[in-house]
Structure 1
Amino acid sequence: MGFYIRPKRRPQGQKVTRKLDITKLKNQLTAQDLQSRMDSKLLDIRSDQSSIDEQWESFRDTVHSIALETLGQVTRNHQDWFDENDQEIQKLLEEKRRLLRAHQNDTTCTAKKAAFNNIRSTVQAKLRLMQDAWLSAKADEIQGYADKHDTKKLYEALKAVYGQQFSFGSTPLLSSDGTSLLTNKRLILERWAEHFNIVLNRPTQINEEAIARLPQVPTNHELAVPPAVEESWYQCKRPIS
């Protein structure tokens, strides 16, 4: 008699439905295509299901499938330097993989090894150029927002480049003596408070003799005179340079 032990099934988490790329609806042709597909498909939905739940599930699944087919899924917001050069990079990497497989299948062939080394150097050089060009363009874009004092677009651009950042309250830290790792949120916040207290509140030593040697200038009492209303109004109306 043969026995079969069924392996333990690993628990499966709930599948998260990815968001639809609704930004494509800004294109008038895409919006019209979606509307026409909806009009044709929704007419085919049967309304004689036994319960309202079945009618809702049929409507829900039909709408989602049409929208997914037309709009697709949303891509991540975090920008990487290779996003805009994906097709070109993929061609380079595919050629590199092809030559690598050829070299691995025939390691004694010096020509195949040399071809792989050449394509590897070419790929590395082109990838560095792509990365430098992307970073330079992105830096100019962010600097432009900073020069225009457009803080909203400035932080949006920074967030797009660096992605989601972890807060101080969730990243583990070493204790002040470096002997233990703090993972509790309260202890982490206390450690940050201790760190900034040491950094910002260091005791100062003032050399009175050095202060006494500083050249003294007469007091300008005009600075204590309150500005006139006209002067204040003029300063408020001046454009920010």
Structure 2
Amino acid sequence: MTVRLNALLTRKGRPFRFGKEIQICGTKKKTYAKAEFQSKEHLVDKKKAQENQHLADTHDAQSFFKATKTVYGPINHGICPLCSTDGTTLLKDKEAIALRWKEHYQHLLNRNSPIAAEVLSQIPQKQIRDELAVSPNLGELCTAINQMKNNKAIGPDGIPAEVFKVGRIELAQQLHKLIQKTWEREEIPADFRNAKIFSLF
């Protein structure tokens, strides 16, 4: 009776064990697939790191930043909150944040100098170089244009260095006229004095 009962239990339990084995195999398969994916991902990351390092070593800034952007993905342009002047309020409104930055830089850039005027007067003055008072000529301007590097960030005017190089003497002459007027009037245009400040934090 016992033998027959054990045989019956064995026969009845076979489907359960078979299902359990299938489940274990499926789990192992998923674990293996996950490990394989992580291994391939690690190799890809290692290859990208080596490529980025090569770009940095060869001073290829444009390709380096492009590759870095690809690795880290798109930039989140969300609003970053700031603390108020007294540090008690967290500013989340875009206009309030802009006013807070304005207040910060007005205080930072318009502070009184800690150096006394008497100390400055004691510094020996170098001989005045009259040649520096001569207005820049067209040749100097062309030399400066040729020394500008390509693939650099453009300024507020939106004109890259490549445009000045392609424009050659025709564009340089027009730019030289503007510089001459500025030199003669001794007044810098407002566009030359404007600047954009980006806070990195």
Structure 2 length-normalised TM = 0.41
Structure 1 length-normalised TM = 0.35
Higher relative contact order (CA 8 A, sep 6+): 1
The structure in which a higher percent of residues are helix is 2
Structure with greater Cα Rg: 2
